[in-house]
Amino acid sequence: MSDQFDKPSRSEDEYFHRRDRELMEQKRRVEAQREARQALASALGITNDDLMSRLQAQHITPEVAMLLPWLPAIQVAWVKSLTSAERDWLLNHIQANQTPPLTAAATACLTEWLAAPPSDQLYTAAREALALQLATLGPDAAAALRDKVLNAARGVSAASGGVLGIGSVSSEEKAALDALERELR
């Protein structure tokens, strides 16, 4: 009778083996997520675990991180609803001015953001990342990044035209541009 209690049943063995596999898989996922967060921080040149986690939650990977400086312009474009002229301007401007060129993953992400507006959480996290990047750069590099972001936002706001260039920037876009400029100064 004591053999019955000393020897684990087959179902108990299976349970513990399955549980061990689940725990090992969970550990692998956590480690992979930590490594991805470190790779993202390295790609952006900043360290802030909370911000990296929020960017990861918004599907920002090291391959897509190159798009973060363009997000304020995308946000300005979506203020009143993205027009085809703004979409074309953004695509042309980003492709012409992005160094290094966009990766396939970044191109797919950009296409998504131009089809439907990104979340407010992504806009907020991108601006925080830009602010941290600006703080870590030297004066010349910071000025170049700031100009890149502001010029793109201004350019897309004027892309819809207006009549003879008058009225091309809406009051909502002007307010968004002013807020962006204050935030980056």
Percentage with pLDDT > 70 across the chain: 91
The pTM for the full model equals 0.81
Is residue 100 reached through a cis peptide bond, with omega within 30 degrees of 0 on the bond before it? Answer: yes
Q: How confident is the model at residue 23 (pLDDT cuts 50, 70, 90)?
A: confident
For CA atoms 28, 38, 101, 73, give the dihedral sign: positive
The domain limits of the chain are: 49-184
DSSP 3-state of 129: helix
Please provide the average confidence, as pLDDT, over all residues in the chain. Answer: 89
pLDDT in the model for residue 163:
43
Cα gap 86→94, rounded to integer Å: 12
- Taking only the tens place, the pLDDT of each residue in 43-78 is 999 989 999 999 999 999 999 999 999 999 999 999
Q: What pLDDT score does 164 carry?
A: 46
Asked if residue 136 has pLDDT above 70, the reply is yes
Q: What is the DSSP letter of 98?
A: -
pLDDT at 82: 92
SS3 12: helix
Q: Assess whether pLDDT exceeds 80 at residue 9.
A: no
State the average pLDDT over residues 96-122: 95
Q: How far is CA 178 from CA 55, 63, 64, 72, 85, in A?
A: 25, 30, 27, 12, 22
Band of residue 3 on the pLDDT scale cut at 50, 70, 90: low
